Amino acid sequence: MAEVVVGRIVRPHGLRGEVVVEVRTDDPDARFQPGAEFATRGGPLKGAPLKAVTVRWHQGRPMIGFEGVQDRNGSEALRGVLLAVDVDEDDLADDEFRDDDLVGLAVVQEGGDPIGTVARIEHGAGHETLVVKREGTHPARIPFVAEMVLGVDFETETVTVDLPPGLLEL
């Protein structure tokens, strides 16, 4: 079993303790249900779990009411908290990766030229983005899409990419 982040609390919503959650999973309908329990990272909870009591959707994001969070002050304190669940490693498809598995891997061009190291993963509505730390310059932002990411090799600890001209200069 591995703990995987499936969401991040963005902000409070309303006066009754609901929060807006940024989705970080490919199956949000299954993950965000009333009764779901989440391990937490960051914030005042110090790892204590949160249990969803209510879940409703607005503009593609879940708005969740958690057990014990009764008002806006309580939900404001949760801003930025990461929500995680345990998953069986065997349940990941061949083309699925956990953020923690990718951070620290070397990013190289198809010919082997080094670009940098994966510093973090940003989760967007359409795709994930690798934020790659580079020596002596600004970080590169590489969309984690099949057209650009040719492969991930954990044995050599590399992510091989084929980037369009000019992408690294953005």
Q: How high is the pLDDT of residue 25? A: 81
- The pairing of strands 82-87 and 37-41 is antiparallel
Nearest CA-CA partner of 8 in 58, 53, 56, 50: 50
| CA pair distance 36, 85, nearest whole angstrom | 9
Domain 99-169: give its CATH code: 2.30.30.240
Q: How high is the pLDDT of residue 157? A: 95
| CA pair distance 52, 103, nearest whole angstrom | 29
Task: Locate the domains of the chain by residue range.
Answer: 2-91, 99-169
Q: With cut-offs at 50, 70 and 90, classify the pLDDT of residue 95.
A: low
Residue bearing the bigger pLDDT, 147 or 126? 147
Q: How high is the pLDDT of residue 12? A: 96
Q: What percent of the chain has pLDDT over 90?
A: 61
Q: With cut-offs at 50, 70 and 90, classify the pLDDT of residue 153.
A: very high
Q: How high is the pLDDT of residue 139? A: 94
Q: How high is the pLDDT of residue 89? A: 65
Shared fold status for 2-91 and 99-169:
no
CATH class for domain 2-91? mainly beta
- Mean pLDDT in residue range 162-166: 93
